[in-house]
Amino acid sequence: MAMLTLPDSFKKNILSLFPEEAGYFFDALSNPPIASIRQNLSKLKANIKLEDPVEWCPHATYLAQRFPFIEDPLWHAGAYYVQESSSMFLHHVIKQLPLDKPKLNVLDLCAAPGGKSTLLLDALPPHAFLVTNEIIKSRVSVLQENLVRWGQANVAVTNNDPKNFQKLGAFFDLIVIDAPCSGEGLWRRDKDAMKEWSQENVEICEARQSRILQDILPCLKPGGILVYSTCTFNPMENEDQVSKIIKNFGLNPLPIKVPSDWPVHVQAGFQFRFLPHKVKGEGLFMAVLQKPDEIGVGKPSMKRAGLNFVPKKMLPSLHAWLVQPQLFDYFIENDFVFAFPLNLIESYEPLRSNLYVKQVGICMGKLDKAGKLIPEHSLALSVHINREIPRHELNLQESHAYLKKGTIAWNNEMPLGWCLACFKGLSLGWIKVLPNRVNNYFPAEYRILKDLE
């Protein structure tokens, strides 16, 4: 592969950072990227083989070669997430944090497309409430789609500016910020990203990150933890930014233990660099800090509004759709019924009252005039769905037809009514079986558009 022509100012910066390794660093940027996937711990029926495990994430694997994931029904079923392996280091970090609290509110602030959010859902204690926010409106839909595939209920997808979260006061025990950055660490994977790079853009990114941190850190509880990361190499967006957090906000470094044989560059025990000539993944910087207990809490000026809970007489028909329905509360918003963990309602109510929430919990569907549920796609992919719901197994060719929103062949052995279309035991979505045909309810906006063999 031909060597990349790198910007002179970028090369100068790398030479100053890693003078003894710069040659290896530059050579590595011309190597092809290595793909990796992380399996969904709640959807292990797919039995994905971990032939080359990612060191810091035990349920992830490097791939010998990249394949067209859009053609794999297991990807559509949420069996795995395609994620850059360096980013999976967050799993190792989360597992070492002191998160043994009865109530645990977590914010993934710059979350799209959803890699770190889906990882958090697997790594956090099951009682945690994850708020996965995307600042840019145009990116919220892909975040929502990936969270629907993952199938967990203890999550809210939001679209808000960081400053808006101050209405909640010091609300979060953990804030993860994968900050928008100049993207130097992605050049091996995306050669076009280098064309957008300039020193001026680095400075713009640094200013944007400072503004985000200024706006969101008041929302961190005393004793709360911040995980700050970028996919770039320059100190302005990394170590210098962390130094300002320590100086201006009083946060302290929180060391994380890392095995000595891992190819991770550790700085002072709490800052971590992933370099292209040492790892199979891409460039990453991550730092872990903690807010002292003695730093005071600002009082939130939030409004509170009640949720529109489903009447008790209607609950039995909804309970039939979930495996442990007593663990959920049910409310209606914009004509849709949502199921949300009962123990998290107290945390969700102020969020819903003060911020824009795109989706929360399980969007079960709409009620028809007779009070029967017309199920939504998120219910079909939920890990909480009743296992007694009728299922119809599809082969690969039939699954491709379904995912293209094509025709599904009818036969008289199929159970009438709503039915889950499945591939290798995992749900792809809904079909409705009628006496002489099958209606395909796969969402049109998610369908495969390309021709498949």
Domain CATH for 223? 3.40.50.150
Same domain, 446 and 307: no
Q: Please report, for residues 14, 133, 172, 254, the alpha-carbon distance to residue 291 in angstroms, rounded to integers and kept in the order given.
A: 32, 21, 11, 10
Residue 216 within any structural domain of the chain = yes
What's at 48, amino acid-wise? I
- Residue with tokens 């199979």, as numbered in its chain: 280
CA atoms of 186 and 24, how far apart (whole Å)? 17
Co-location of 379 and 396 in the same domain:
no
Q: Are 87 and 281 in contact (CB under 8 A)?
A: yes
**Domain co-membership, 158 together with 278:** yes
- Roughly what angle, to the nearest 10 degrees, separates helices 239-249 and 199-216? 30
Residue 44: inside a domain:
yes
Tokens standing for residue 265: 């560059």
Long-range contacts of 57-62 (CB under 8 A, 24+ apart): 57/85, 57/88, 57/89, 57/91, 57/92, 57/119, 59/122, 60/36, 60/85, 60/88, 60/91, 61/36, 61/37, 62/34, 62/35, 62/36, 62/280
Q: Examine the domain organization and report whether 133 and 270 are in the same domain.
A: yes
In angstroms, the CA 106 to CA 260 distance is 30
* Domain boundary pick from 239, 262, 290: 290
Q: How many CB atoms lie within 10 A of CB 315?
A: 16
The answer to whether the peptide bond before residue 113 is cis (omega within 30 degrees of 0) is yes
Phi, psi of 67 (to 5 degrees): -130, 165
Q: What is the mean pLDDT of each run of 10 residues along the chain (453 residues)?
A: 76 93 92 94 78 94 92 96 97 96 96 98 96 97 97 98 97 98 89 85 96 97 97 97 97 97 96 96 97 70 71 94 97 96 95 95 94 96 97 96 95 93 96 96 93 71
Q: Are 154 and 252 in contact (CB under 8 A)?
A: no
Tokens of 195: 């064309």
Last residue of a domain, one of 386, 409, 437: 386
Residue 203 in domain: yes
Residue 228 tokens, joined: 């700050």
Distance CA 253, CA 291 (A): 9
Residue 195 is predicted with a pLDDT of 83
Distance from C-alpha of 252 to C-alpha of 292, rounded to nearest angstrom: 7
What pLDDT, on the 0 to 100 scale, is given for residue 451?
A: 80
Q: Is residue 421 part of a domain?
A: yes
Looking at the structure, tell me whether residues 381 and 397 fall in a common domain: no
Written as one string, the DSSP assignment of 346-406 is HHHHHHHHHS-EEEESEEEEEE-TTS-EEE-HHHHH-TTB-TTS-EEE--HHHHHHHHTT-
Helix (H) or strand (E) holding 430: strand 426-433
Domain annotation covers residue 254 = yes
> Residue 395: which CATH number?
3.10.450.720
For residues 133 and 286, give the distance between their C-alpha atoms in angstroms, rounded to a whole number. 19
**Contact yes or no for 157/359 (Cβ under 8 A):** yes
Check whether residue 331 and residue 217 sit in a common domain. no
Q: What's residue 196's pLDDT?
A: 85
Q: Domain check: are 413 and 349 in the same one?
A: no
Contact between residue 241 and residue 279 where contact means Cβ atoms under 8 Å apart? no
CB distance 223 to 296 below 8 Å: no
Residue type, 166: Q
Pairing of strands 105-108, 172-178: parallel
Q: Do 280 and 336 belong to one domain?
A: no
CA distance linking residue 194 with residue 395, whole number of Å: 42
Domain that holds residue 310: 302-386
- 320 with 208, same domain: the answer is no
Provide the token pair at 284: 């990453």
| Cβ proximity of 386 and 321 under 8 Å | yes
User: What total number of domains does the chain contain?
Assistant: 3
The verdict on 207 and 335 lying in the same domain is: no
- Using alpha carbons only, what angle is made at residue 378 by residues 377 and 383, rounded to the nearest 5 degrees? 125
**Amino acid letter for position 127:** H
129 and 141 share one domain? yes
Q: Domain boundary at 371, 386, 401, which?
A: 386
pLDDT of residue 5: 82
Cα distance between residue 57 and residue 65, in whole Å = 19
Residues 403 and 256 in one domain: no
Q: Is residue 279 part of a domain?
A: yes
Q: Is residue 3 part of a domain?
A: no
Examine residue 1 and state whether it is found in any structural domain, yes or no.
Answer: no
Taking phi first (over 0 means left), then psi (-120 to 50 degrees means alpha), and beta for anything else, what does residue 316 get? alpha
pLDDT at residue 1, as a whole number: 45
The pair of structure tokens assigned to 71 is: 């053609």
- pLDDT at residue 191, as a whole number: 73
Return the closest-CA partner of residue 376 out of 325, 310, 314, 442. Answer: 442
